[in-house]
């Protein structure tokens, strides 16, 4: 506290002392009153500044107890999200109170504010409507801090954009997309629009891989090979593995085989799905080509009926 705000605190105390001794200076009463009010306003502003620094230090010290670089960081991300939003809210509240107290030290400004609110109700309503988006986002930010539908580093899909929550402010959220783009979304929009959160309660995810095979494929052989690949991969967490025929097509006489595997987070889940898909296709191509889908057609439906005598007559030499 002394390192970050010691100089401001000393300056504020100096201004307070100067304000106290101003009435005893050999100057006119009006000049002394003006100087006293200026010094008091400056003291209030510096005191508010010191209060903001103190609150930021306290919140940063609390957040520093948590680590978000571990695999099981749900509690840490929850605390960091709450404290970051609380930090910005507290800073705005202290700034507003400080400015209000500083202005109240001047009679002219105080009377002007009272008369403005008393006689310009329509202007106040207009200002309220103009500030409606800001107020909505501020209230939504407090609601987000309490309910926490999203947290820092959550994996979400917003408007078909997949990425990680990189930053949460009092009015907007920054989404770091998978291709390094940043999507800035107002908090009020998040609180009124459905979105997907892949790490709401846990970072583990079930990934699915779909293969299209011929009707004659031995599913047990597909299952054994897929399980062998999953066990050999460092990306599989060993919790869930399943192979099922999820659909069939009567026209192409093929079936859809779904492979389910779990990973500890979304990034590993994506990589495991790609690895499993690539290795299964390579194995089917090289060692089990009969499993590849083929298009079956009934030639009798497309070739016109030909009598046997006509075929024999055509085959005889002229």
CATH of residue 125's domain is 1.10.287
Whether the Cβ atoms of residue 262 and residue 239 lie closer than 8 Å to each other: yes
Flag whether the pTM goes above 0.85. no
Q: Could you list the beta-strand ranges (E) of the chain.
A: 155-158, 161-168, 172-177, 182-186, 196-197, 205-214, 241-249, 254-263
Q: Is residue 65 part of a domain?
A: yes
> Would you place residue 72 in the very low, low, confident or very high pLDDT band (cuts 50, 70, 90)?
low
**Do 16 and 116 belong to one domain?**
yes
Bridge-partner residues for 270, per DSSP? none
pLDDT of 318:
44
Q: Is residue 30 part of a domain?
A: yes
Q: Is residue 119 part of a domain?
A: yes
Q: Is residue 122 part of a domain?
A: yes
CATH code of 229's domain: 3.30.70.100
**Do 10 and 107 belong to one domain?**
yes
The number of residues making up the chain comes to 318
Give the Cα separation of 68 and 81 in Å (integer): 11
Bridge-partner residues for 184, per DSSP? 174
Give the Cα separation of 199 and 264 in Å (integer): 10
- Sequence-ordered list of residues with C-beta below 8 angstroms from that of 191, at least 6 positions apart, any chain: 140, 143, 144, 149
Q: Is residue 224 part of a domain?
A: yes
**Do 110 and 217 belong to one domain?**
no
Residue 148 region by backbone torsions, left for phi larger than 0, else alpha for psi between -120 and 50, else beta: left
Domain region containing 82: 2-138
Give the residue from 59, 61, 108 showing the smallest Cα distance to 86: 59
**Do 30 and 116 belong to one domain?**
yes
Give the residue from 41, 44, 48, 62 showing the smallest Cα distance to 5: 48
Whether the Cβ atoms of residue 150 and residue 173 lie closer than 8 Å to each other: yes
Give the Cα separation of 59 and 143 in Å (integer): 19
- Which of 62-66, 197-201, 252-256, 273-277 shows the lowest per-residue confidence on average (mean pLDDT)? 62-66
> Would you place residue 175 in the very low, low, confident or very high pLDDT band (cuts 50, 70, 90)?
very high
What digits encode the pLDDT tens for the residues 161-173?
999 988 888 788 9
């Amino acid at each position: 506290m002394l390192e970050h705000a010691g100089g401001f605190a000393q300056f504020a105390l100096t201004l307070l002392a100067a304000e106290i001794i101003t009435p005893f200076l050999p100057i006119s009463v009006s000049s002394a009153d003006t100087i006293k009010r200026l010094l008091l306003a400056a003291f209030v502003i510096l005191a508010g500044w010191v209060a903001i620094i103190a609150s930021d230090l306290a919140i940063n010290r609390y957040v520093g107890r948590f680590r978000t670089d571990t695999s099981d960081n749900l509690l840490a991300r929850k605390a960091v999200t709450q404290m970051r939003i609380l930090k910005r809210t507290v800073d705005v509240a202290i700034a507003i109170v400080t400015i209000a107290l500083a202005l109240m030290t001047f009679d002219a400004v105080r009377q002007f504010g009272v008369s403005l609110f008393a006689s310009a109700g329509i202007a106040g309503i207009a200002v309220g409507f103009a500030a409606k988006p800001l107020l909505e986002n501020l209230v939504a930010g407090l609601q987000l801090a309490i309910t926490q539908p999203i947290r820092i580093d959550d994996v979400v899909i917003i408007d078909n954009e997949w990425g990680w929550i990189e930053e949460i402010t009092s009015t907007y959220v920054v989404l770091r997309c998978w291709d390094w783009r940043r999507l800035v979304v107002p908090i009020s929009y998040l609180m009124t629009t459905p979105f997907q959160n892949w790490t709401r309660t846990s970072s583990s995810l079930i990934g699915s891989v779909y293969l299209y095979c011929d009707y004659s494929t031995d599913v047990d052989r597909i299952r054994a090979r897929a399980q062998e690949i999953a066990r050999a991969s460092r990306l599989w967490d060993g919790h869930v593995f399943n192979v099922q025929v999820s659909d069939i097509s009567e026209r192409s006489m093929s079936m859809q085989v779904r492979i389910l595997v779990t990973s500890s987070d979304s990034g590993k889940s994506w990589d495991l799905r790609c690895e499993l898909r690539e290795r299964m296709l390579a194995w089917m191509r090289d060692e089990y080509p009969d499993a590849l889908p083929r298009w079956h057609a009934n030639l009798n439906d497309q070739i016109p009926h030909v009598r046997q005598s006509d075929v024999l007559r055509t085959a005889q030499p002229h």
